[in-house]
Structure 1
Amino acid sequence: MSRIGKKPVAVPNGVTASVEGQTVKAKGPKGELSFVVNDEVLVKMEDGAIKVDPRDQSKEARSKWGMSRTMIQNIMTGVVAGFEKKLEISGVGYRAAKQGNNLQLSLGFSHEVVYQTPSGIDITVPKPTEIIVTGIDKQRVGQVASEIREYRPPEPYKGKGVKYAGEKIVRKEGKKK
């Protein structure tokens, strides 16, 4: 039994949620999101909350049950509060700057890296060594943060590169004489 799947998803104040067939839609102060639930899972609206149940006790239905409930919860959180990922840049001369709708990165290459911000995502640069990615869709926020980190992931010897805030870099010892 899925412990996560058993809990109903509460619809927060200020959010209008609807279930039409296998599609769950939510509209809140930050925007509007929808999620199409897999056919192996039943979704219904009960007492101002969304209830998720597996269609049968097959392994596939049970494995998609908890994931579907979590996706619906992420929709509710996204339209109310949104999501954010923080990235930190470390290294001499490594920095970031916002230029219009683009993010300009100096990461030790012979050229500047220019990252175009996708729609629905907001990137801010409070300090030259800090990037904050915000949006209402958790998956897209994580994907954008991952794409930015991919340009120069942190290396294990000096820890230079782009890393998530709070990420631990496993350091290696250098050469010995």
Structure 2
Amino acid sequence: MSRIGRKEIIIPDNIEVIINTSQIVVKGKRGQLSYSISELIEIETNNKIIKLKQKKTTQKAQAIHGLSRSIINNMIQGVSKGFEKKLVIQGVGYRSQMEGKSLVLNIGYSHPVKIEPPEDISIRVENNTNIFITGIDKEKVGQIAATIRSVRPPEPYKGKGIRYENETIKRKVGKAGK
């Protein structure tokens, strides 16, 4: 049985959770998120606590049990606190800036790269090299951060490129001189 799925989800006071037969809606001060629940999972609620149970004991039900619990927990965290990812640009002449709501990256290509975020995701730039991505949906925040990083991933010789804040790059030694 899934150990993650067995954990209880505690609902904070300022969060409202609406559970229909196959849909869960979480409302908070930052916004609203919804998730459709699999028919293999059963939800029990009582006084600010949500418990998930499997209807069948199959391998698929076990996998979806932990996944559903994690997604619902992330929804509750998202509408109460939100999620943030920080990217750092390293390299001589590499910089970023905002044009309206879109992010413009000048990172060594012959043309600037524009990235349009979804409506519920906000991007801000500090010092032309630090990019902050914030939003209530953890999956979307992570996907936008991965998309921005994939434009110029860090290379192992000089470490130039776009990397996550805490990411360490394994450096390689260059050519040996004669």
TM-score normalised over the length of structure 1: 0.97
CA offsets per residue over residues 33-87 of structure 1, 9 Å max, x none?
0111222111222222211011111111111111110100000000000000000
Q: Which runs of no fewer than 5 residues in structure 1 stay unpaired?
A: none
Q: How many residues align?
A: 177
Whichever residue aligns with residue 139 of structure 1, its letter is: E
Contact 2:17/2:27 (8 A) holds in 1:
yes
Match in the other structure for 1:5: 5
Aligned-residue identity in percent: 42
User: Partners of 1:69 and 1:60 in 2: how far apart?
Assistant: 14
Match in the other structure for 2:167: 167
Whichever residue aligns with residue 41 of structure 2, its letter is: V
Contact 1:26/1:75 (8 A) holds in 2:
yes
Is 1:155 aligned to residue 155 of structure 2?
yes
Match in the other structure for 1:80: 80
User: Partners of 2:7 and 2:124 in 1: how far apart?
Assistant: 35
Contact 2:12/2:48 (8 A) holds in 1:
no
User: Partners of 2:22 and 2:74 in 1: how far apart?
Assistant: 17
Match in the other structure for 1:108: 108
Contact 1:125/1:131 (8 A) holds in 2:
yes
Matches for 1:3-152 after TM superposition, within 5 Å: 3-152=3-152
Whichever residue aligns with residue 28 of structure 1, its letter is: G
Whichever residue aligns with residue 60 of structure 2, its letter is: E
CA offsets per residue over residues 6-39 of structure 1, 9 Å max, x none?
1121111111101101211110000000111222
Identify the range of structure 1 (38-47 vs 141-150) with the bigger mean alpha-carbon deviation: 38-47
Contact 1:83/1:137 (8 A) holds in 2:
yes
User: Partners of 1:53 and 1:4 in 2: how far apart?
Assistant: 11
Identify the range of structure 1 (7-16 vs 130-139) with the bigger mean alpha-carbon deviation: 7-16
Whichever residue aligns with residue 156 of structure 1, its letter is: P
3-state SS of 2:123 partner: strand
TM-score normalised over the length of structure 2: 0.96
CA offsets per residue over residues 63-112 of structure 1, 9 Å max, x none?
11111101000000000000000000000000111111111111001111
User: Partners of 1:129 and 1:44 in 2: how far apart?
Assistant: 46
Whichever residue aligns with residue 16 of structure 1, its letter is: E
Contact 1:22/1:43 (8 A) holds in 2:
no
